[in-house]
């Protein structure tokens, strides 16, 4: 068996450097794609219900929205500053998880908690039917047809629930449907802080 030495590349020097130049030209693109993939994984690796709110510790944004009822009573910033903690729930009739969390909102309201609703990009008739069939836990409802107030609150999607303290500051935010666990860990400690510390 005879082994022949490999001959050096017979491609002209200019051609070999041309391939290297092509590689250098594509390297930033591949590097950028790798960085984007790492960022994407890091962004969505955590618990989506625990997305931080930029509003935590700050006063609620100024807003005034029309109401869902025909009486013209809507929802405004001053309604959320009551001298006691309140809940602001962002919901829509087309949202399946909103239907799942609704009994928990009804229980909060029955227990004396003021729950306000921000009806997000919804059809008014559908929203009224939703409340007609499941009950209305809301002390007031603002209709955010374009979603601008939801953007001001930093809402990612529905449902989302905010706890607002007596001075009108956002103290907690929960993204996703409320359940017994999230109520006990993310909502009730802010509504009843003295009981939570015991």
Whether residues 119 and 28 share a domain: the answer is no
Whether residues 62 and 104 share a domain: the answer is yes
Query: How many independent structural domains does the chain possess?
Result: 2
Tell me if residue 86 falls in helix, strand or coil: strand
Q: Which residue, among 131, 178, 140, 146, has the nearest Cα to 159 in the 3D structure?
A: 178
* Higher-confidence position of 42 and 171: 171
- Do residues 55 and 170 lie in contact, with contact meaning Cβ atoms separated by under 8 Å? yes
Q: What is the structure's pLDDT at 149?
A: 97
Q: What is the structure's pLDDT at 4?
A: 58
Q: Over 80: is that where the pLDDT of 184 sits?
A: yes
Q: Over 80: is that where the pLDDT of 48 sits?
A: no
Confidence of residue 34 (pLDDT cuts 50, 70, 90): confident
- Average pLDDT of the residues in 140-164: 96
Whether residues 33 and 55 share a domain: the answer is no
Burial of residue 42, with CB atoms counted within 10 A of its CB: 0-12 exposed, 13-18 middle, 19 or more buried: exposed
Separation between Cα atoms, residue 12 and residue 15, nearest integer Å: 5
Token pair of 173, please?
Answer: 């935010």
Whether residues 53 and 97 share a domain: the answer is yes
Q: What is the structure's pLDDT at 58?
A: 86
Confidence of residue 66 (pLDDT cuts 50, 70, 90): very high
Q: In the chain, what is the greatest distance between 2 CA atoms, to the nearest angstrom?
A: 98
Strand partners for 75: 65
- Do residues 116 and 141 lie in contact, with contact meaning Cβ atoms separated by under 8 Å? yes
Q: Over 90: is that where the pLDDT of 98 sits?
A: yes
Whether residues 188 and 120 share a domain: the answer is yes
Q: Over 90: is that where the pLDDT of 143 sits?
A: yes
State which H helix or E strand residue 173 sits in: strand 170-175
Whether residues 58 and 108 share a domain: the answer is yes
Q: Give residues with Cβ within 8 angstroms of 167, minimum separation 6.
A: 59, 81
Name the CA radius of gyration of the chain, rounded: 27
Residue range(s) defining the domain that contains residue 21: 11-45
Q: Over 90: is that where the pLDDT of 151 sits?
A: yes
Whether residues 143 and 132 share a domain: the answer is yes
State which H helix or E strand residue 151 sits in: helix 148-153
């Amino acid at each position: 068996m005879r082994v022949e030495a490999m001959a050096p590349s017979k491609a002209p020097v200019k051609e070999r450097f041309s391939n290297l130049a092509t590689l250098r030209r594509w390297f930033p693109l591949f590097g950028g794609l790798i960085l984007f993939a790492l960022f994407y994984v890091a962004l969505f690796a955590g618990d989506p219900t625990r997305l931080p709110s930029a509003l935590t510790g700050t006063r609620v944004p100024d807003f005034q929205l029309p109401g869902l009822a025909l009486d013209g009573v809507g929802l405004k910033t001053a309604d959320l500053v009551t001298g006691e903690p309140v809940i602001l729930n962002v919901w829509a009739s087309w949202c399946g998880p909103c239907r799942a969390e609704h009994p928990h909102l009804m229980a909060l309201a029955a227990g004396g908690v003021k729950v306000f609703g921000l009806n997000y990009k919804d059809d008014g008739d559908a929203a009224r039917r939703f409340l007609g069939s499941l009950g209305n836990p809301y002390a007031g409802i603002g209709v955010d047809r374009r979603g601008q107030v939801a953007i001001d609150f930093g809402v990612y999607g529905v449902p989302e629930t905010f706890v607002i303290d007596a001075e009108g500051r956002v103290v907690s935010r929960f993204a996703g449907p409320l359940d017994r666990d999230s109520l006990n860990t993310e909502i009730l400690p802010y509504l009843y802080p003295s009981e939570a510390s015991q």
